[in-house]
Structures are given as C-alpha cells and as structure tokens.
Amino acid sequence: MKGLSILFFFFFYFSLFLLSLLGEAKAGEDHNDGVYIVYMGAATSPNGTLRDDRTQILTSLSKRERNALVRTYKNGFSGFAARLTKEEAKSMVDKPGVVSVFPDPILKLHTTHSWDFLKYQTDLEIDSSSSSDSDSSSQESDTIIGILDTGIWPESPSFTDSGMGPIPSRWNGTCMEGQDFTSSHCNRKLIGARYYQDPVNEDSSNHTPRDKMGHGTHVASTAGGNPISGASYYGVAQGTARGGSPGSRIAVYRVCSYYGCLGSAVLAAFDDAIADGVDVLSLSIGTEALFGPELSDDPIAIGAFHAVEHGITVVCSAGNDGPGSESIANIAPWILTVAATTIDRDFESTVVLGNNKVIKGGGISFGNLQKAPIYPLIYGLDAKKNSRFDEIDDDDARNCKLNALDDDKVRGKIVVCEHIENQYSDNEKLDGIISQGGIGVILVDDDLRFISSTYGSSPMSVITKSDFPEVLTYLHLTRSPVATILPTVSVTKYKPAPVVPYFSSRGPTPHLKRLLKPDIAAPGVNILAAWRGNDTSEALKGKAPPLFYVLSGTSMSCPHVSGIAAAVKSQFPTWGPSAIKSAIMTTATQTNNMKGPITTDSGAIATPYDYGAGEVTTTRPLQPGLVYETNSVDYLEFLCVFGYDISKIKLISTVVPDGFTCPKGLSADLISNMNYPSIAISGFDGKESKMAIRTVTNVGVDDETLYTATLDVPTGLKVEVMPEKLQFTKSNKKLGYRVIFTSTTSSQKEDLFGSITWTNGKYKVRTPFVVTS
C-alpha cells in the first residue's frame, strides 16, 4: 500500500463495504445462505443463571445443518452468528429471547509529537493553583487496554516489557497462536492476543493475531506504547514516540483484515474482552455515515453496551466522512466518541521556482533534486496528449489523469497537476508521471496539503489552491520555467493548532439531536507511531522497512483518548466508564496555540458539532473536580425512547431495577435529561422554555467546597441555572441543578451553542450545550 493517500485508504474500505452489501442483497434474492447475527441480550437471566432460550435455539440449529453455526456469544452477552437463509433469519426474530437479527456487516477502519503538543496545550490553561505533578504519559499502571483492530506487530520496541511487573492476576485472557505468531510473542506488556476467522473468506494468512496491515500496531502504540526515543519515519517527525498510558498492558483482538472488519468478529471480541478483564476498549472502526445502522443492528453499539455494564470504558472513532453535517459514527451514549484535530507540526516539501519564489508545500517525499531551481517545469494542461484515437479532455490534462499527458512533453520535467477529481489518487498520479519519464510532481490540493501522504523517493509537493495562481503565472510568463522540490522537513510550533480537519465526521447526530456527538477531539493528523516491521512497500530504496509510520484519521485520534482514559482509570480504579468519560470531556480545551478559539480547516470557529467538548487535555482529566455519572436507568430510558419495550429491555440488561418501566407519555426530550457531560435541547420553537436536569458528584480533594456557575450564552437565548451555587459537604457529595433555556427572539433558525462552567477557584468543570429548533 505504498504511500496510499488518506482518501484512497478510506475509499478502499468503502468499496469493500459496498461489495459486501451487494453480496448480501444477492444472497437474499437467491435465498442462499448468508451469515446473520442473532442478538439475544444479556448472557444471564435476571436471577444470574445462563439463558435456556439460547441453548434451545442452538440445539435446534445444530440439528438443521452441520457447520451452520459460525460463532457463539456467552460471556458478556448472549447470541450467535450462523449461516441462515433470509426466511430462516426472519423466523428467528419471533423466537423467545431474541432481541434482533441482522446480516453480518463489514465495518471499516477509520484511519510522538502529538503528546508533547497536548501537554503544551494543557499547560497553557493550568495555573499554579490547579497544576499537578502527575502526568498521564508517565503513570505506571496495571490498567489493561484492549485494541480491536488489524492485530499487532509484537517485535516493535513499543511493546517490549522491560521493567514491567507481573501480569495482573485478574487477567483471564490468552495468547492465541497462529501463522507466524506463537505464545512467546506475548509478554508482560502485550499480555493477550486473539484473532477471529472469517467464515466467508477462508484466507489462512489471516489466521493469526499478527498485523498484516500496520493499522492495529499504530493504534496500539498510540494508546499504550513504550516511550521510544529517536523514533521517526526516515528522519521525518523525529522525536520520542510513546503512548498515552505507557504503563498499561495491551490486549489485542484482531477483527479486521484486507476484507474489512466483520461485525460478528467485533461482537466476538467484545464478548471475549469482557471475560478477559480489560479496563478500556479502543475501536478505530465503524460504519459509513451513509449506511449508519440502527442501534439494534450495530455490533459496536451492542458490544459496547454490555462492556460498559461490566465497567469497561469504550472509546470509538467518530469516522472520516466529514466535513458534511450528520456524518458522525458510533453515536450510542455509552460510547466515548472521538473526532480528530491537527497538532502543531507540519511536514513541508518546499517548492522553489526559477524566480526564487519559495512555496511551502506539504507531503512526505525524499527526492534528491538539487536545491537550485534548474529543472524544467510544465503545467498538466500544457502537456496534454494529442491523440488521433482518444479525445483528451482539457480537465483530464489539468488533473494529470493517467494517459492524458504526452510522454515527450513530460519527460525530464516537474509537472504541475490539479487534483479536483478523485478518480486517481495522488500516488497514482505521481507514479504515472514518473513512469512517463517525469522528474516529480507539484500537486494542487488544499486537503492533502496538511494531511500528508508518503511519496517515497519521488519528488512531490502538495500546494494549496491559494498558492497555485503564483505558480501558474510564473509558468505562463516565463519562456523556460524551472523549479525544484526539496526533501521534506518537519516544522514544529506551527500555527494555528489544533484545527479540525476536513475528514473528521461531524454532528449533529442523525435523527438524535438531543444527544450531542462527537464527545471529544484528539490529535488525528500526521501521527507517527509504530508500524509492522516487514512493510517493504513503504521502504525507501536501499533502506530497511520503517519501524514507525505516519497516518491520519479519527483512527489515530481514538487511541489518544483511550490512553488518557487508561491513565484516569489507573489513578481512580473504582471509577466507572461514565465518570471517566466526564473527566475527559469537562476538562477539554477550546483554545488553540494562538490563544484564540479552535477553528476548522476552513477557518470557521469550531462548534461542538466539530469537536464535542473540545480538545482533550492530558493532566486535567486526572483532577476533574466534579463528574457526571450516567447511571443504568439513563441508558434504559434511552432504549425506551428508541422503541424497546420492557420485555426486550429486560433481555438486554442485567441491571434493570425492580419495578422499572418505560415512562408514561414517553418523549424524546427524556434523552436531554440523561445525566450526560453535555446538553442537547431540540424541538425548541422559541415559544416555550425547555429544561435540562443534571447531577454532579464531587471527586475533588476538598469535601467541603462551593462551586459557582458561569455561563457562555449565545445571542437570542436566555439561560438560567438553578441553583447558581452548589455547596458540597462531607455527607453530601452529589448535588443536582436545572438549566432553563428561553428564547429572546420570535423565531430561531440556527443551532445555538454555549456552555455552563462550574468553578471553585481550583477546578473548572465545563459542560457544552446546543439548542436546536
């Protein structure tokens, strides 16, 4: 996958997803067997005994056909995956104990200095009264992070166990052996590894926990990898690569391959992880925004629900379908959903024109051109092929589409190419130019300028559209234009940062505007982390394969938050997932390194639809002051709103309180009153006030303390907090408050954003809100 651009990487998995859907549709039409997931809720009945209804269905299934059963789920929840016809799947829905039945979906991957930048941003906002000596990057911990991804490269130095103590006695997992992977590959750092076979694509090379793609290794090292000094990608992005919780143990669940990530495998990994004893689960995978499933058909939402009920914090990527609205993935309220941001490091591949004008392009390339601008330069349109057989469109030539340019015109030159269409990736265009005898490429693309692809030894620079006119003017006003492209260098303290990149999926949550997603943002652009050690496709000529590699995506932002969640769990081992989520969200920052508001890549001020509560900080979640604890009733009432009746809810959850029923006069406004660290009000017509109720728990060092509310209120809205002060005592650590939203205008057309911050002079606890019509 040499130098795959981020867009090509995503479209690759998107095509796999579409193929899987087409395959499922044909299977249904022909009444052929397909794999279906039969979800049956909790693993045990309310009295704690194993579910008989599951056993009965499995017994009848085994009598019907040998090998019909693909997987069973019995640890954290109940159910199975089996080969069924469409009619058999429909009949399963009506069987006792069944919650839902759905085709086995194929999910996709959502794919150092970042930790230095996060700490720097944190320090900007911490005064001497609230600073802490603790650092999430140096906490020693027996916290266990589970990674559901493409596996792991165990030989990476990021996963050595030097200096680590014995494996926690509560660990119940295993180290599965497979192709080129033995139990000796696990150690006191990498304490567990599992893989899940694909019942459709029986490729024996996938029967291993070993990472064949690199993505899982990259993610695991970002979350919990050891500090490795001098890490770089052939000298670029040099520094110390480390995870957010380097003292944590890592358990790997290989659920993804080149064929995608099977939903049945994801559920199996959740089931195993619950029994294994992990503390945090990190999933940089999900669905396409276009094909977002219902909660009842979503393997991640289902698995995460049961993991959270077992005390496991589940962190998921938000998806890479931005910048359009309602593109968010992994929207369940029990999931901590992570958007992406940039860091203050830029990769610059400078272009020098013959008039000595210097343009700072992007991308990662290691060309060996001379520093002086002596190489002939040509615009793709001017290199257009004149063919008697094929009519070449001017736009095809401008965009340097394959077979659109003349070999003789390209040979020995640097070619300037636009990149308006995405029929061919940046790397394909570069390879095409080089194959025609060209020297290198200057590509025009705003998005790829700051989301770097790797281009190997071929000179390549990506410039912005705003820089393009100057290049074009020089080309057309100069008799013999020349230029050069310099090798990539890393530039730090780049401003502004963080910025929300174009690809990061956005809110509001589709069909669920009373729940604000994403929850938080973290670095996900140009992240250096560990890589599989045999990737010759990414090796420079004459060099060994890289041990570290640069990737972008919410796949990279997710493990940053997973690492911080593990650090919080290590300091507060009794805290549940909602308290950990709250600590991370309420201590986020909304300020960039220019001391201004965080913006998107378009320059607009970012909103909670872009970054949730803001950019995650490193040490502040370890001292949050107050936390919002979302209890089981909140989630059960959420299921009520989604149409589950009490009989189905009792199947799903093991913690349904005695006498619980779905509220009478059920309204979607109930979701707004979930005890969540953010507030979303919808259906606001400006005529009637709306109210949200919240409860906070004092977890600060002072038992007796007074918190005062301060408000950031947008124009057109009146917000009242009652009471305005919260006095905590030794005997009363939980206090509630109400928020009243009233319109000050006759009509509301835009979504309105603001925040409520509780302060006591030591801690600041911020809750963002959004009000929509």
Whether the per-residue pLDDT at 326 is higher than 90: the answer is yes
Domains in the chain, number: 4
Residues 154 and 302 in one domain: yes
In a domain, 280, yes or no: yes
The reported pLDDT for the residue numbered 137 is 39
The reported pLDDT for the residue numbered 194 is 98
Looking up residue 456, the CATH number of its domain turns out to be: 3.50.30.30
Residues 163 and 285 in one domain: yes
Whether the per-residue pLDDT at 213 is higher than 90: the answer is yes
DSSP H helices, 326-478, are: 394-398, 407-410, 426-435, 446-450, 468-477
Determine contact, residues 406/441, Cβ cutoff 8 Å: no
| Region 701-711 average pLDDT | 96
The reported pLDDT for the residue numbered 357 is 97
**Burial class of 477 by CB neighbour count within 10 A (0 to 12, 13 to 18, 19+):** exposed
Q: Residue 570 and residue 573: Cα distance in Å, rounded?
A: 6
Residues 611 and 693 in one domain: no
Looking up residue 82, the CATH number of its domain turns out to be: 3.30.70.80
Residues 303 and 161 in one domain: yes
The reported pLDDT for the residue numbered 28 is 36
Domain end residue (candidates: 472, 492, 512) = 492
| Region 237-253 average pLDDT | 94
Whether the per-residue pLDDT at 29 is higher than 80: the answer is no
Determine contact, residues 553/320, Cβ cutoff 8 Å: yes
Residues with a known catalytic role: 149, 215, 555
Q: Which of 470, 469, 398, 405 is nearest to 434 (CA)?
A: 405
Residues 131 and 241 in one domain: yes
Q: Quick: pLDDT tens for 11-26.
A: 334 444 433 433 333 3
**Which has more pLDDT, 289 or 495?**
495
The reported pLDDT for the residue numbered 155 is 98
In a domain, 79, yes or no: yes
Residues 234 and 318 in one domain: yes
Determine contact, residues 586/767, Cβ cutoff 8 Å: yes
How far CA 165 is from CA of 146, 159, 187, 380, 707, in Å, comes to 19, 14, 11, 60, 41
| Region 30-34 average pLDDT | 57
Determine contact, residues 116/493, Cβ cutoff 8 Å: no
Residues 48 and 120 in one domain: no
Q: Of the ranges 233-247, 384-398, 621-635, which one carries the lowest mean pLDDT score?
A: 384-398
| Region 438-456 average pLDDT | 95
Would you state the structure tokens that stand for residue 333, as one six-digit string? 């309220």
Q: How far is Cα of residue 313 from the mean position of the Cα atoms in its chain?
A: 15
Q: What is the mean pLDDT of the chain?
A: 89
First CA to last CA distance, the chain: 46
In a domain, 198, yes or no: yes
In a domain, 389, yes or no: yes
Query: b/e per residue, 410-439, with b = 16+ CB within 10 A?
Result: beebbbbbbbeeeebbbbbbbbbbbebebb
| Region 52-56 average pLDDT | 75
| DSSP H helix total and E strand total for the chain | 18, 38
Kindly indicate the confidence band of residue 389, based on its pLDDT and cuts at 50, 70 and 90: low
Looking up residue 736, the CATH number of its domain turns out to be: 2.60.40.2310
Residues 504 and 617 in one domain: yes
Q: What is the DSSP string of 143-187?
A: -EEEEEES-B-TTSGGG--TT--PPPTT----B--BTTB-GGG--
Q: Which of 633, 631, 628 is nearest to 767 (CA)?
A: 628
The reported pLDDT for the residue numbered 63 is 65
Residues 470 and 353 in one domain: yes
Domain end residue (candidates: 590, 624, 658) = 624
Q: Of the ranges 133-137, 653-657, 670-674, which one carries the lowest mean pLDDT score?
A: 133-137
Residues 118 and 250 in one domain: yes
In a domain, 751, yes or no: yes
| Region 617-636 average pLDDT | 95
pTM of the model: 0.92
Determine contact, residues 329/461, Cβ cutoff 8 Å: no
Domain end residue (candidates: 492, 526, 542) = 492
Residues 563 and 509 in one domain: yes
In a domain, 324, yes or no: yes
How many Cβ atoms sit within 10 Å of the Cβ of residue 65? 13
How far CA 135 is from CA of 163, 224, 273, 570, in Å, comes to 19, 14, 27, 12
Residue 568's domain spans which residues? 108-344+497-624
The reported pLDDT for the residue numbered 386 is 87
DSSP H helices, 592-735, are: 608-611, 632-641, 646-652, 669-672
Amino acid at 394: D
Q: Of the ranges 338-352, 572-586, 642-656, 741-755, which one carries the lowest mean pLDDT score?
A: 741-755
The reported pLDDT for the residue numbered 222 is 96
Whether the per-residue pLDDT at 363 is higher than 50: the answer is yes
Element (H, E) at 133: none
Q: Quick: pLDDT tens for 86-126.
A: 998 999 998 999 999 999 999 988 764 555 666 656 555 54
Determine contact, residues 711/737, Cβ cutoff 8 Å: no
Whether the per-residue pLDDT at 52 is higher than 90: the answer is no
527 DSSP β-pair partners? 551
In a domain, 642, yes or no: no
Kindly indicate the confidence band of residue 55, based on its pLDDT and cuts at 50, 70 and 90: confident
In a domain, 639, yes or no: no
Diameter of the chain measured on Cα atoms = 89
Q: Quick: pLDDT tens for 218-233.
A: 999 999 999 999 999 9
Residues 455 and 544 in one domain: no
- Length of the chain counted residue by residue: 773
591 DSSP β-pair partners? 597
Q: Residue 365 and residue 348: Cα distance in Å, rounded?
A: 9
Kindly indicate the confidence band of residue 133, based on its pLDDT and cuts at 50, 70 and 90: very low
Q: Which of 280, 18, 329, 328 is nearest to 147 (CA)?
A: 280
How far CA 107 is from CA of 284, 298, 320, 602, 678, in Å, comes to 10, 10, 13, 29, 28
| Region 376-401 average pLDDT | 90
